[in-house]
Amino acid sequence: MKLFRRINVVLFVMLALLALLVLVALQSSVAAQCAMCRASLEGSNNSYFIRNLNIGVLVLLVPPVAMFCSIFVVLRRHKAGPKEAAESDEPESEV
């Protein structure tokens, strides 16, 4: 059972890395702006302001993603139950 779980984790990680690689390979000029922000900045020649606005949008994205990940981890541990959660925290010994 532990081997099956380990294979699932490895498969999930490999699929996530493949998806990330595809996204990076196929990306075009990515800007973290909505359509209205982009339209208001097209007439501006201030590249410093545009760069800082993009960074600001990305910074504002961090808290919702962190909250989602935290909720996901809590729900996963709650679903696993106390016995399985305790087993997953302890390092596995090779027999």
Q: pLDDT for 57-95, tens place per residue?
A: 888 889 999 999 999 888 888 887 666 555 555 555 555
pLDDT in tens, 3-43: 667 777 888 888 888 888 887 776 655 555 677 877 777 77
pTM of the model: 0.44
The domain segmentation of the chain, as residue ranges, is 1-30, 31-85
- What is the greatest pairwise CA distance in the chain? 67
CA distances from 7 to 1, 62, 76, 77, 86 (A): 10, 30, 18, 20, 20
C-alpha distances in angstroms, 39 versus 16, 66, 93, 94?
33, 29, 58, 59
Q: What is the pLDDT of residue 4?
A: 64
